[in-house]
Chain A
Amino acid sequence: MASQLTPATETEAAEIIRDHAERAAPLEIRGGGTRAGFGNAVQAAATLSSSGLSGILTYNPAEMVMTARAGTSVAEIEAALDANGQAMAFEPPDHRPIMGTTGEPTIGGLFAVNASGPRRITAGAARDSLLGVRFVNGHGEIVKAGGRVMKNVTGLDLVKLMAGSHGTLGLLTEVTFKVLPRPKTAATIVLSGLDDEAATHAMAAAMALPVEVSGAAHLPESVKSRFLSGGLPEGPATVLRVEGLEASVAVRVEKLAAAMQRFASTTRLGPEETAVLWREIRDVKPYADGTMRPLWRVSVAPSQGEKLVAALRLATGVDAFYDWQGGLVWMRMEADPEAEILRRYIRALGGGHATLVRASGAVRASVAAFEPQEPALALLSQRVKAKFDPVGILNPGRMTTGEPA
């Protein structure tokens, strides 16, 4: 059993890391551990968690900015925002259902994996909301980057580098992020009966309208019954969300429904069902199935998602549904991970990347969880990693790229 280190202060965290750097002793970096199993396995005798660094430090709703220690639970953050009618625009997903984990998701963990839900297509990813960070690098130095204002181009944007670096560049100790007013209401248009290709066209047409669609997903027949307790109309469901002030949502839904008539028959969901449906899409409900069957998160150009799935279906057993207008494909494989064929097809369709989110221990040991990079980029990533963590003690091996050469 690896030892658990849970520092209570940033200074203590820095001392621990400095000590481990001096001894070249690897550390597994984690927040609440709700994404344990994400990325490649890390061999480390000790685990360093940010969960002891907790608490909201500043929050001024009129400035739309919050600063919190990295180990603060997402639930605490969301409750504070909710009390002021605000929310994180990128709709952070809860990965516990698909990962089969327990524990509390932390705000630091969320930014460390750049976890972003359905609204990513218009509101940006977690990284787009992240304004500033404090972290401890692999030397044990406390570094701050960015700030707490919306517009800041002072020096290099290390904030973006930290987002999605999976604890391989530093232990996040504090994050400052932008929040937005929570939409006053929301509605969903459901287009019924479209196949994946037709749905892709319909979603592209919807996104091109001036009605500010804030979510566009396609739920093929194989997964549809897993949403809204089977309450969606018959046939595959292509779902489009509109959010905002009452009056404006009413007007925009009318316009959207009228424009979508040419693709399929439409029905509407009110605010409550809309909230449930998009939370289920966000949390990948169909594949929260208690299994370790390989689950992929694929990011491609929105128009290419269905082509990728169609090609794969000819070669292997795959079940899939689409978020981000088709650009985020959640794929569950029947048996084997099929990494090689999946990645080959992605390249053939113009690029993107596939992340193995969940798999059995045996599969994880043999398949690179993250998309392998071409040599020049891999080298650059390795150099960047070495500038934060020259000894290579922070989550070594978690990302296939970015390890010291």
Chain B
Amino acid sequence: MTEAIKFLEPDAAILARRKEIVDDLAELVPPERLVHEPVELVPFETDGFLAYRRRPLAVVLPETTAQVAAVMKYCHRYGIPVVPRGAGTSLSGGAIPQEDAVVLGLSAMSRILDIDYANRTATVQAGVTNLSISDAVGADGFFYAPDPSSQLACTIGGNIGMNSGGAHCLKYGVTTNNLLGVKLVLVDGTVVELGGKALDTAGYDLLGVVCGSEGQLGIVTEATVRLIAKPEGARPVLFGFDSAEAAGSCVADVIGAGIVPVAIEFMDKPAIEICEAFAHAGYPLDVEALLIVEVEGSEAEMEAMLASIVEIARRHGVRTVRESQSALEAALIWKGRKSAFGATGRIADYICMDGTVPLGQLAYVLRKTSEIIDRYGLRVANVFHAGDGNMHPLILYNINDPEDAARAEAAGMEILKLCVDAGGCLTGEHGVGIEKRDLMRHQYSDVDLAQQMAVRAAFDPAWILNPSKVFPLEGRE
């Protein structure tokens, strides 16, 4: 694998003090919550962005906010970098450590603290998984809306760090729209509360800027999130089209007609084939593009919405329309979509890109993407959230062939630049991490970036928190 992305040079003085630091950390957390043997550190070397890995100085897995605060206070005092980590599912390298850093893993803080149906909130520790919130309240008719594909494993703390989204965010919004409050440990170990059960917060919207800050402003140890009453029913429908353009203009017309489905997912032919071979979801194999449109509500409501959507699809020459007739069929349709990443992994190595484009540019960006991929002699499968323009080209390559890998990486960067040039952004839900750090200047001017970095510095003047990430290494304040 190439090492195109640079890390900060580890601080030799910190590396030299490693044993002393480990001994000090042992005073702050129980022995079983400190990981320092080289072999035990291996699982913490990387996250879902597998191409890069670094062995951290040590890993602490605190059980309480007080322990997190103690570790932060210590690291702040000695200028030791800290890399926060949830379940390690980041796809942009957000949780990849560096050699002179202490990894602060929140996975042991996995208790649901309070469920309040009168106010429709859940207060949970940061290490609680996304799906377990919905599981805890599902029997009572509620759910937590943001649903990243990794929701079985990923933690709410990580979701807040990345402002995660998912297929159903078209209607319900992403993490920032569903987050009411956090307990936050600042870089010097001070514990503050931002927000709470009230809908609006006082003063500057610090909660808003902490959400999506990729572990650079503080460590979230607890969160209060919105619960939503589950709809009576939900029904996904498959639409097969002869071209991406037809599918794209169908999406635009559905929204233009005043219908906002809960999800609109797009798959191109390679993605359809890969997912069908894996999940046997009954996807049509004779079409160029597939939409999964999900509506929800009562039977009458779903019927009304679907009738309008089907009519619009027919105007765009839809070839296949398949309404799910049962819960089993509905689950199967989603299984195909949700297994896209895993299914792709069975046939090739791939990198998953994550840019967002304005809806009107979807067809153009898809066409240019395939030109870029052809030019590099690679293959791509496209699967994405068409309702909000969040694209996920999966670029297939061979990880054991360094040249192939370099080509895939270069093609990916070109595609992301294309998204920005089309009026979109570098990342819709995966975050900048290390992956897109050096492209930030393509989206933002030096002044824009300096303002962001200044705000970062207001929270963490010495750049201790997750320092290799998000912002280009040159020109930091």
Contacts and interface: CB of A to CB of B under 8 A. Distances in A.
Contacts of B454: 387-388
Interface string B168-196: 01100110110000000010001011101
A331 interface: no
B301 A152 contact: no
B459 interface: yes
Contact of B206 (A184, A299, A380): A380
B474 to A, nearest CB: 16
Contacts of B229: 207-210, 212
A154 B205 contact: no
Interface stretch (B51-59, B104-112, B113-121): B113-121
Contacts of B445: 144
B393 interface: no
Contacts of B256: 61-62
A383 interface: yes
A17 to B, nearest CB: 14
B358 A154 contact: no
A223 interface: no
Nearest to A387: B454
Interface size class of B (residues with CB under 8 A): 35 or more
Contacts of B196: 301, 350-352
Contact of B252 (A62, A165, A301): A62
A143 B448 contact: yes
A153 B204 contact: no
B258 interface: yes
Interface in A223-277: 244-248, 251-252, 255
A25 B257 CA distance: 51
Contact of B390 (A121, A148, A151, A248): A151
B230 A210 contact: yes
B451 A301 contact: no
Number of contact residues on A: which range applies? 35 or more
B136 to A, nearest CB: 15
B208 interface: yes
Interface stretch (B79-87, B337-345, B426-434): B426-434
Contacts, number: 286
Given A128-B177, A251-B298, A182 B258 contact: yes
B165 A151 contact: yes
Contacts of A159: 208
Given A62-B256, A147-B424, A158-B209, A251 B204 contact: no
A56 interface: no
A373 B205 CA distance: 13
Contacts of A164: 204-205
Contacts of A62: 252-253, 255-256, 359-360
A106 interface: no
Interface stretch (B42-50, B95-103, B436-444): B436-444
A324 B388 contact: no
A312 interface: no
A151 B356 contact: yes
Contacts of B186: 376, 380
Contacts of A184: 258
Nearest to A65: B358
B32 interface: no
A107 interface: no
A247 B388 contact: no
A137 B428 contact: no
A204 interface: yes
Contacts of B255: 61-64, 181
Interface in A31-77: 60-65
Interface string B125-165: 00000000000000001100000000000000000001101
Contact of A155 (B173, B359, B440): B440
A163 B425 CA distance: 21
Main secondary structure of the interface of A (DSSP, over half): mixed
B297 interface: yes
A61 B259 CA distance: 12
B451 A401 contact: no
Contacts of B459: 380, 383
A163 B206 CA distance: 11
B417 to A, nearest CB: 13
B243 interface: no
A155 B199 contact: no
A248 B258 CA distance: 14
Contacts of A373: 202-203
A84 to B, nearest CB: 8
A284 interface: no
A380 B451 CA distance: 16
A272 B205 CA distance: 36
A121 B119 CA distance: 11
B385 interface: yes
B36 interface: no
B211 interface: yes
A377 B209 contact: no
B300 interface: yes
Instruction: Tell me which of B229, B300, B423, B470 has the highest count of chain A C-beta atoms within 10 A of its own C-beta.
Output: B229
A367 interface: no
Contacts of B440: 154-155
A153 B199 contact: no
Contacts of B423: 147-149
B443 A154 contact: yes
Given A142-B447, A244-B301, A380-B206, 8 more contacts: A114-B200, A150-B389, A153-B429, A155-B449, A210-B232, A380-B458, A387-B451, A387-B458
Interface of B: 116-121, 141-142, 162-163, 165, 169-170, 173-174, 176-177, 186, 190, 192-194, 196-209, 211-213, 216, 229-232, 252-253, 255-260, 297-298, 300-301, 303-305, 356-360, 385, 388-390, 423-432, 436, 440, 443-445, 447-449, 451-452, 454-459, 470-471
Closest 4 CB pairs of A and B: A160-B208, A181-B258, A248-B301, A301-B197
24 contacts: A125-B199, A149-B424, A151-B356, A151-B385, A152-B424, A152-B428, A155-B444, A157-B163, A158-B209, A161-B208, A181-B259, A204-B119, A208-B229, A210-B231, A210-B298, A212-B297, A299-B199, A302-B119, A304-B197, A351-B198, A353-B200, A374-B192, A381-B206, A386-B458
